Homo-oligomer: A and B are copies of this chain.
């Protein structure tokens, strides 16, 4: 274990991989790792990339890796898949291209399967990012298909959220209204050479014009990722957003929120382990075996559980 912790700090990809596997699968040594890898001193910029399937998230991620590598930055990429039987094929296909970086020791790419819709990834995403922070990565990118819980877990674990759209997304404006506007720090209109790109740009601009000016208004960046069009500008805007966060003490706030959440999660886990001893579990199960109408209410059973 001590070797793994040392390995993480030294940036050893094998140690990182083992640590993430342990965290992801809730293995026995998880507690030990989680407790010891919390980065005290972080310079890592955590970036989330989300958007509908087919928008080109992977192409954008690929280009960002290239740009950051050209600046000699260490880049970690975590691909968060919803564990759907329908998406996995296509998604993996997209991602094969990332193998370009296979021999680059300063690029770490890893797929993480989510645990369905139950939100079991919440704590994990942040903890996995902590592993890469401890290994002193300059940038950590979370790429996720924009779906429900997973999305929000990523949003809460990163500093800057990039939402990738395509000109065809214009029809989905209603959907966007309801969810993406609130989480985006930067909008990317990818595949900008396609029909209706300007139209989406306009629609988006109009929507953003409604946002209270005292808040951060998301940038819009036009890209054609596969042609490397707009990517330098994107890198610049990502940097600008980080500066904005620092200037307004929002980065510190994000760090503090994650710090407090880590404390609460560890505390709660310890509390749960302590509270649910065999005797208490038996009482709960016995109560669950009864018909609904004969059961104690949750409050009644808590009183009983606490009294022993």
Q: Which residues of A contact B (CB under 8 A)?
A: 34-36, 38, 40-42, 52-54, 82, 84-87, 116-119, 145-149, 151-152, 155-156, 168, 171-172, 174-175, 177-179, 181-183, 207, 210-212, 255-256, 259-260, 262-264, 266-268, 270-272, 275, 284, 288, 292-295, 297-299, 301-302
- 20 chain-A/chain-B pairs, Cβ below 8 angstroms: A34-B299, A35-B299, A36-B299, A38-B299, A53-B175, A82-B178, A84-B181, A85-B211, A86-B177, A117-B182, A147-B179, A149-B149, A172-B172, A260-B284, A262-B298, A263-B284, A266-B298, A266-B299, A266-B302, A267-B302
What 4 additional pairs, Cβ within 8 angstroms, besides A82-B182, A147-B178, A255-B292?
Answer: A40-B295, A42-B292, A259-B295, A270-B302
- Write the nearest CB–CB distance from A258 to chain B, whole angstroms: 9
**Are B87's CB and A178's CB within 8 A?**
yes
- Give the dominant DSSP class at A's interface: helix
- Write the nearest CB–CB distance from A227 to chain B, whole angstroms: 23
Q: Please report the C-alpha to C-alpha distance between residue A182 and residue B82 in the assembled complex, in whole angstroms.
A: 10
- Write the nearest CB–CB distance from A100 to chain B, whole angstroms: 25
- Write the nearest CB–CB distance from A161 to chain B, whole angstroms: 11
Q: Please report the C-alpha to C-alpha distance between residue A178 and residue B52 in the assembled complex, in whole angstroms.
A: 9
**Are B86's CB and A179's CB within 8 A?**
no
Question: Among B40, B175, B263, which residue has its beta carbon within 8 angstroms of that of A175?
Answer: B175
**Are B41's CB and A292's CB within 8 A?**
yes
Copies per complex of this chain:
2
**Are A86's CB and B210's CB within 8 A?**
yes
Question: Among B118, B284, B293, which residue has its beta carbon within 8 angstroms of that of A40?
Answer: B293
Question: Among B38, B171, B295, which residue has its beta carbon within 8 angstroms of that of A171?
Answer: B171
Q: Please report the C-alpha to C-alpha distance between residue A174 and residue B168 in the assembled complex, in whole angstroms.
A: 12
Contacts of A175 in B (CB 8 A): 52-53, 146, 172, 175
**Are A178's CB and B38's CB within 8 A?**
no
Q: Please report the C-alpha to C-alpha distance between residue A116 and residue B178 in the assembled complex, in whole angstroms.
A: 11
**Are A84's CB and B259's CB within 8 A?**
no
